[in-house]
Amino acid sequence: MSLWYPSHSPMHLVGYSNFDFAGCKLDRKSTSGTCHLLGSSLISWHSKKQACVALSTAEAEYIADGSCCAQILWIKQQLEDFGLQVRKVPLMCDNISATILTKN
């Protein structure tokens, strides 16, 4: 088993975020999940139970998006340290309410 990172792929960074609303049966906390691709290669992923109980799916997705955004900022800084400039990084999420909340 190995991870393959082709050298000819374009160097654009994309973040994906998702959540499992109230997935824990004991405390009803949601689980955040994120992954980040540089070109066509997976470079980072994360899955963690959220620290607080979300009252809506929009709130749970907003928390997951915040975690994904923090990781994107860290990755951007690391890439800049290696001399790669990344201007805009799309953050993909599937909850329209969380997207509107973020833009507000």
| The pLDDT of residue 47 | 92
One of 3.10.20, 2.60.40, 3.40.50, 3.30.360 is the CATH number of 13-103, namely 3.10.20
30-to-1, 15, 59, 84 alpha-carbon distances in Å: 31, 19, 10, 35
Per-residue pLDDT tens over the stretch 16-52 = 998 888 888 888 899 999 999 998 888 999 999 988 8
Sign of CA dihedral 104, 21, 17, 77: positive
Closest CA to 62 of 24, 14, 100, 36: 100
Higher pLDDT, 99 or 78: 78
Return d(Cα 49, Cα 20) in angstroms, integer: 9
* Owner of token pair 């654009």: 12
Per-residue pLDDT tens over the stretch 63-90 = 888 899 999 999 999 999 988 888 899 9
pTM for the model = 0.83
Q: What are the structural domain ranges in the chain?
A: 13-103
